[in-house]
Structure 1
């Protein structure tokens, strides 16, 4: 059904002027000038084809036409306020749905979500495994983490520097090249091909070969000496990014989590 165009700004000004029976006091409430209030009222009167106010020796008063529509107008504004509160309720909800690569969730994200959850015990997480771009609308996501060169079409912030490092088993092991989609080897080249960087790190840890992986992902394994660095980390165009469309990015619950994960 096609809706009639409503001059909402003019109606808002009319409501304020009707409550105060003063253009000056309405202007103070709305943080505009009395002249601007007068212009809005005149434009509304022209559109409706009725006179809304009359000036009398006692001051401003409503016409019968204005008085007749005032109760319904105020009820409508109350409905608008309830609608806005309902739409904003998701901002204060305790549920966050996050999409991230499986290996990143296991090696980096989960312990940090655990710490965030300990500090915010009412928060509940739903984690979705996703290696590629995700449809935020279809998946009802609040936030996604992806290995990419930038945030793409979304808002985003980079987690650490884009750096890769070559790692192997602590006590040596094979020198076979271990590849994964973020660091592939050429077709026909000898090597061990695995599905993600997490599997590549695990394979390197048990001596199956050497893997070039994101430093952010392998930092915990390096600290625990599960693997050892075979060279210094090098800058790389790929990095892990926290991303979300602008509406999700503006949510308070998303902002709080992004701040915690980037601290």
Structure 2
């Protein structure tokens, strides 16, 4: 059943005027003019088909219909305030659902997530693996880390981590066996190649000294800085990149903003 649209602003004006029994005092409370209060009351009476106030020698007076409606109206406003408080509490909470591109959890997200989790021992984090562009209409995510082109879904906005390059990495003395994770490269792989599911897995093979892998610079940066692997040749720019993305409401939510700040400053 379709619910009718309620004139909430006019009902709020009615509540204020009923408490004050004065359009002028209600106007002061609501920071509007007495004329605006009178217009809202008249419009509400026309909409409802009910007279709410009478003017008497003593001043403004509620009609029996107006007085009878007040308890339920005020209970409704109290329920609305509770609902808004619950929504705001949820946005301020540390319960997060994240979509993370396969391969990026271990080598990018987890090292940055660890200090945030240590600072928020009460936090609950759910991680969902992403195999491609995230569909926010199907997944109830607060934030996603995707790999590929910029997000193009309507209403979804992304922040690029960096201009991306592929860098070939390997350990000293490791075999030159190629470790391939990109499907296009795997189709024409040379004999002896190792085919894995994602860039993170390819980097793991290189870290284990089992071959050489071309992986995104973003994933390899920490291992290269620590001397765990060496860069073998020049990095090659690619059009794809890692994107932190979410629909506009999530970007505005307090919990996502706080998490992003911690994530990007780690």
TM-score bucket (shorter structure): 0.7 to 0.9
SS at match of 1:141: coil
CA RMSD of aligned residues (A): 2.5
* Alpha-carbon spacing, 1:163–1:172, altered in 2? closer, same or farther (3 Å): farther
| Alpha-carbon separation, structure 2, partners of 1:33 and 1:213 | 65
> How far off is 1:78 after superposition?
1.3
Q: How many residues align?
A: 261
Query: Residue in 2 aligned with 1:169?
Result: 170
| Alpha-carbon separation, structure 1, partners of 2:28 and 2:160 | 44
More off after superposition, 198-207 vs 125-134: 198-207
Q: Give 1:65-84 correspondences, 5 Å limit.
A: 65-84=65-84
Query: Residue in 2 aligned with 1:256?
Result: 258
Deviation readout 1:33-52 (Å, 9 max, x if unpaired): 22221111111111222322
| Alpha-carbon separation, structure 2, partners of 1:79 and 1:219 | 51
| Alpha-carbon separation, structure 1, partners of 2:114 and 2:5 | 50
Gaps of 5+ in 2: none
Normalized against structure 1, the TM-score is what? 0.86
> How far off is 1:14 after superposition?
0.7
Q: Give 1:1-263 correspondences, 5 Å limit.
A: 1-136=1-136, 138-153=138-153, 154-159=156-161, 161-171=162-172, 173-181=174-182, 184-185=184-185, 187-190=187-190, 191-206=193-208, 209-263=211-265
> How far off is 1:218 after superposition?
0.3
| Alpha-carbon separation, structure 1, partners of 2:115 and 2:186 | 40
> How far off is 1:131 after superposition?
2.2
Contact 1:162-1:214 within 8 A present in 2 as well: no
Normalized against structure 2, the TM-score is what? 0.85
Q: Which runs of 4+ in 1 moved over 6 A?
A: none
* Alpha-carbon spacing, 1:51–1:168, altered in 2? closer, same or farther (3 Å): closer
Deviation readout 1:101-157 (Å, 9 max, x if unpaired): 342111111121110111222212222222223444654322211102213321332
SS at match of 1:46: helix
More off after superposition, 212-221 vs 118-127: 118-127
Gaps of 5+ in 1: none
Deviation readout 1:48-94 (Å, 9 max, x if unpaired): 22322233343322222211211221112112222223333321333
* Alpha-carbon spacing, 1:232–1:17, altered in 2? closer, same or farther (3 Å): farther
More off after superposition, 136-145 vs 124-133: 136-145
| Alpha-carbon separation, structure 1, partners of 2:186 and 2:141 | 35
More off after superposition, 61-70 vs 133-142: 133-142
| Alpha-carbon separation, structure 1, partners of 2:200 and 2:209 | 15
More off after superposition, 199-208 vs 117-126: 199-208
* Alpha-carbon spacing, 1:57–1:222, altered in 2? closer, same or farther (3 Å): same
| Alpha-carbon separation, structure 2, partners of 1:232 and 1:123 | 41
